[in-house]
């Protein structure tokens, strides 16, 4: 299993909307994430700077990278682009973090 963490940015006036959309996350997204080997996926918000911290465990990097190619992922990104910073393809602007410590 591979632990991954990354940061993203939600627009300052969209904190509640971002949470609402995740509270009502589409079952197809959950199904796709699990199909592509995601486990223990959490997203945390620092409201002081609108920074999102995401953490998940994946089974395989190559398999995980293919999530971006799925129709449901593309649809989710398009749905989320008005509440967070995104790239031209609607994917979230994200910075992967390097693990420097782990206590098991």
Calpha distance 55→69 (Å, rounded):
21
Percent of the chain at pLDDT exceeding 90 = 99
Residues involved in catalysis: 22
Give CA 87 to chain center in angstroms.
Answer: 14
Spatial CB neighbours of 91, under 8 Å, sequence gap ≥ 6: 68, 77
The token duo for 43 is 């997203």
Average of per-residue pLDDT across 10-27 = 98
Domains present along the chain, CATH in parentheses: 2-97 (3.30.70.100)
Q: If you ran DSSP here, which 8-state letter would residue 102 be given?
A: -
How deeply is 58 buried, as exposed, middle or buried, from its count of CB atoms within 10 A (0-12, 13-18, 19+)? buried
User: By three-state DSSP, how is residue 22 classified?
Assistant: helix
Mean pLDDT of the chain: 97
Identify the helix (H) or strand (E) that includes residue 77. helix 71-80
pLDDT of the residue at 72:
98
Give the global pTM.
Answer: 0.92
């Amino acid at each position: 299993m591979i632990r991954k963490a990354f940061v993203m940015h939600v627009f300052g006036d969209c904190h509640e909307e971002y949470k609402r959309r995740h509270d009502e996350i589409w079952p197809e997204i959950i199904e796709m994430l699990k199909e592509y080997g995601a486990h223990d996926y959490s997203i945390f918000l620092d409201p002081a700077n609108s920074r999102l911290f995401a953490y998940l465990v994946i089974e395989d990097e190559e398999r995980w990278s293919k999530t971006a190619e799925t129709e449901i992922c593309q649809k989710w990104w398009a749905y989320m682009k008005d509440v967070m910073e995104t790239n031209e393809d609607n994917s979230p602007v994200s910075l992967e973090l390097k693990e420097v410590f782990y206590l098991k």
